[in-house]
Every structure is written in structure tokens, then in C-alpha cells.
């Protein structure tokens, strides 16, 4: 029997991130332990644990979004800012997606503001302790 979407690491729809820390996130009256990928189509568990885990394959759900659905990816890199791997930057650029990286706390705040402004934004947030 198939699991409900939210039990399989996916919650449909766009959601503000209400809180972060202690290794996880709160959103949509739910909590998730681990990293998070917030897309226009829904919120996914993200297997990345460090910025070096971030690659086109780990962000396959982002690249599967319809063309033009995401204009900006906000990446929360953990406790402090860290540059994205070159392969990922190239894949984003080739897909027409701009990116900005910052510490996860700042990234969550920025994502929430841009989502509130109805921007075509996605977020990839590494969990922090």
C-alpha cells in the first residue's frame, strides 16, 4: 500500500517555514528532521547534509519543475555561508535559475519574504543543529 505523500517526504503546495534549528524545520503545522527543499509544487525532504552534497542529482525535483516556475533558488548552507559546488552553479545557470546562498537562518527568512511577495522562488535549506 502506498504511503500518503506527507509520510513519503513530500507535502504538496508552497509553505512558509515557521521555524528552524535543532536539526530540522517547522512548516504547515508539521515538523521535519533533516534538510528541506521547498518548491512551487511542494516541500520535499532533501538528502543533503553538507553543501558538498548539493548537486544536480540531489536537486532533481527542482529541475523537474515546469520551465519558468522558479526564477531564484535560495540556498541555506548551514551555520555559515559557503559557495555552491561549481557543477551545481552551472546546472542552475543552464536552467535559467539564479541562486543566492547564505546561512540557513538568513535563507529561511529571505525565502519567506520572497514567497510572501509571490516571487517565483524555491529554497534548499541544510538543517542546522
Question: Which structural domains are found in the chain, ordered by start?
Answer: 12-125 (3.40.1230.10)
Beta carbons of 38 and 29 less than 8 angstroms apart:
no
Three-state secondary structure call for residue 127:
coil
Per residue in 104-128, pLDDT (tens digit) is 999 999 999 999 999 999 999 999 9
Q: What is the grid cell recorded at 8?
A: 513519503
Per residue in 56-66, pLDDT (tens digit) is 999 999 999 99
pLDDT band at 9 (very low <50, low <70, confident <90, very high): confident
Return the pLDDT at 8: 56
pTM (2 d.p.): 0.91
Per residue in 78-104, pLDDT (tens digit) is 999 999 999 999 999 999 999 999 999
Beta carbons of 82 and 30 less than 8 angstroms apart:
no
**Measured distance CA(73)–CA(16) in Å, rounded:** 15
3-state secondary structure 70-109: CCEEEEECCCCCCCCCHHHHHHHHHCCCEEEEECHHHHHH
Amino acid at each position: 500500500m502506498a504511503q500518503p505523500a506527507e509520510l513519503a517526504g513530500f507535502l504538496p503546495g508552497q509553505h512558509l517555514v515557521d521555524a528552524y534549528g535543532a536539526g530540522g524545520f517547522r512548516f504547515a503545522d508539521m515538523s521535519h528532521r533533516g534538510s528541506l527543499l521547498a518548491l512551487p509544487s511542494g516541500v520535499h525532504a532533501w538528502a543533503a547534509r553538507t553543501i558538498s552534497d548539493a548537486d544536480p542529482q540531489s536537486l532533481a525535483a527542482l529541475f523537474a519543475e515546469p520551465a519558468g516556475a522558479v526564477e531564484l533558488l535560495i540556498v541555506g548552507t548551514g551555520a555559515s555561508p559557503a559557495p555552491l559546488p561549481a557543477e551545481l552553479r552551472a546546472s542552475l545557470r543552464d536552467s535559467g535559475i539564479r541562486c543566492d546562498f547564505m546561512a540557513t537562518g538568513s535563507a529561511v527568512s529571505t525565502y519567506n519574504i520572497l514567497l510572501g511577495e509571490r516571487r517565483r522562488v524555491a529554497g534548499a535549506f541544510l538543517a542546522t543543529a
